Amino acid sequence: MQCCKVFQCTASVCEKKPARGLAYKREMEPKMTKALSLKSFRTEVIESKALSLVQFKAEWNGTCQIMAPLFESLAVTYMKKANFFTVDVEENKAIETEHGVTDIPTILFFKNGKMIDHLTGLAPRNIIIEKIENALT
């Protein structure tokens, strides 16, 4: 079983890094998070009883680019326990405004349709995991 088209390795999880100068695009990796629009935000997050983490981001923001792989890896880790979503603030100003997001990246934690916690800025993995675990209990 090949884990990716770039390296053509047979491991279940690709741990190889691209060689210097090799163009490696994240688009080749499968996404575990789902991008939301205003309509899908209501159905996927507000009407859901499950724990949902929503990351507000912009492609041009360096901190968002740093947080993206971490958010994706947490989505894999908590695949059966929580839902992970992203909102592009450039395309969805209404969601950003409705939930009072003023800085990016921001992660909002929802459970039973209510916001129960949040994180703003660059956050370490262990802090995010601690907040997820607290929300799951």
SS3 of 15-61: the string is CCCCCCCCCCCHHHCCCCCEECCHHHHHHHHHCCCCEEEEEEECCCC
Domain that holds residue 57: 30-136
Burial class of residue 103, CB neighbours in 10 A (0-12, 13-18, 19+): exposed
**Number of helices and strands in the chain (H, E):** 4, 5
Whether residue 23 lies inside any domain: the answer is no
Residue 7 lies inside a defined structural domain of this protein: no
* 68 found inside a domain: yes
The count of domains in the chain is 1
Within a domain: residue 11? Answer: no
pLDDT in tens, the chain (137 residues): 444 444 444 444 554 444 444 444 444 445 678 888 888 899 899 999 999 999 999 999 999 999 999 999 999 999 989 999 999 999 989 998 998 999 999 999 999 999 999 999 999 999 999 999 999 98
Query: What is the DSSP secondary structure assignment for residue 2, as one 8-state letter?
Result: -
Put simply, whether the predicted model's pTM sits higher than 0.85 gets the answer no
Between CA 127 and CA 49 the distance in angstroms is: 23
Nearest-CA neighbor of 41 among 72, 7, 11, 86? 86
Phi, psi of 40 (to 5 degrees): -70, -25
